[in-house]
């Protein structure tokens, strides 16, 4: 799987995890030079607290366009059948994942 934003590959991996329609990329497969921490957090009733990244490339920025779970809720990884701690997912309106 490959994630492309602003014409650039920002993540690529053969070991993504598919959860609720989104590909989650292992943290080591994401080019962190495009990521900027965001203060936004949201809650998922079964995955836990999602933390967000803004995507940044020079003067181009996509606020809160990526998210990850630093501490997934207990039992959520068993439900998915795989670890997804710190794996990064991207909103499709900003990033093309194929």
Structure token digits, residue 2: 């490959």
Q: Give percent above pLDDT 70 in the chain.
A: 100
Whether pTM > 0.95 for this model: the answer is yes
CB 85, CB 57: distance < 8 Å: no
Separation CA 80–CA 98 (nearest Å) = 21
Total tally of structural domains belonging to the chain: 1
CB 24, CB 88: distance < 8 Å: yes
What pLDDT score does 44 carry? 97
The SS3 assignment for 55 reads strand
CATH of the domain at 58: 2.170.150.40
Separation CA 82–CA 51 (nearest Å) = 19
CB 34, CB 57: distance < 8 Å: yes
What pLDDT score does 25 carry? 98
* 11: containing domain: 2-97
């Amino acid at each position: 799987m490959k994630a492309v934003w602003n014409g650039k590959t920002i993540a690529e991996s053969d070991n993504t995890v598919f959860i609720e329609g989104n590909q989650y990329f292992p943290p080591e497969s994401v080019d962190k030079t495009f990521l900027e921490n965001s203060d936004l957090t949201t809650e998922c009733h079964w995955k836990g607290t999602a933390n967000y990244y803004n995507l940044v490339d020079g003067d181009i920025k996509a606020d809160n366009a990526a998210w990850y779970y630093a501490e997934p809720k207990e039992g959520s990884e068993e439900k998915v059948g795989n670890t997804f701690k710190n794996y990064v997912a991207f909103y499709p309106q900003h990033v093309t994942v194929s």
